[in-house]
Amino acid sequence: MNKIGKQIPNQEAIEDGVDFFEIPVNEEFSSDEMEAGRKMFCQQCEFVAGATVESQLPTPTLPEVAFAGRSNVGKSTIINALLGQNKKARTSSNPGHTKQVNIFDLSQQMFLVDLPGYGFARASKSEIARWQGLILDYLKGRASLVRVMLLVDSRRGLKDVDHEIMKILEVSGVIYQIVFTKIDKISKKDLEKLITTTKDVIQSKAAAYPFIAMTSSKEKKGIPELRASLFRLSQQFSF
């Protein structure tokens, strides 16, 4: 890990009333890492594949980060926010919008993977079974998967279905990081409560990344830090 330079406070977050430094689970980055993360996500990002079966996934030649979580939690939106684009990953206010495993190549440095949401019941039974099967096969068996960003709506917290996915990732030994989304929609007090309860849950989990990310794609909170985190990760792996 390349940790040079001075630790800088998240000025934007402090100004907006959420002092991220009060929260012990928050990961810190040097100014150099923040800048490297910004640059990494300014580079070209190409859509590689929309896989509906495992055989359509590309050869695992790059470290891969997948965005998983319940339907409508903001997976596609956060990928767009990271890339500073609106339409790279397709978003919708209708749950169940992403129906395939969408893979993006970030300048030959990393694959970003937009997964369909789980826990959504407004599709046909056979369609749900196909998505869930694909998600599970992908999460269990992808050799190049270096981290799963497990997105959780900050208004709702961890649900049973999130716990099920965490169990699967624990068994598969895939590191996952809890990422709270839509923090623009809750109060600082509720966010702190949520952090405390979630921290208690992940403390006992071997495969859980020990830092929780707090984000609002709408207000771009936590997005520069997430870029720095993914930059740091990209430096740790080569395939």
Ligand X SMILES: Nc1nc2c(ncn2[C@@H]2O[C@H](COP(=O)(O)OP(=O)(O)OP(=O)(O)O)[C@@H](O)[C@H]2O)c(=O)[nH]1
Residues that bind ligand X (CB under 6 A): 69, 71-77, 91-93, 95-98, 116-117, 181-182, 184-185, 216-218
CB of 76 to Mg ion, least distance (A): 3
Cβ closer to ligand X: 36 or 78?
A: 78
CB of 59 to ligand X, least distance (A): 25
Nearest to Mg ion by Cβ — which residue?
98
Name the site residues for Mg ion (rule: CB under 5 A).
75-76, 98
User: Could you give the C-alpha distances from 122 to 64, 98, 118, 127, 153, in angstroms and in order?
Assistant: 29, 13, 11, 10, 19
Residue 211 and residue 205: Cα distance in Å, rounded? 12
Identify the CA nearest to 217 among candidates 20, 122, 80, 48.
Answer: 80
CB of 42 to Mg ion, least distance (A): 23
Cβ closer to ligand X: 36 or 118?
A: 118
Query: 95 contacts which partner out of Mg ion, ligand X, none, CB within 5 to 8 A by kind?
Result: ligand X
Cβ closer to Mg ion: 156 or 199?
A: 156
CB of 178 to ligand X, least distance (A): 15
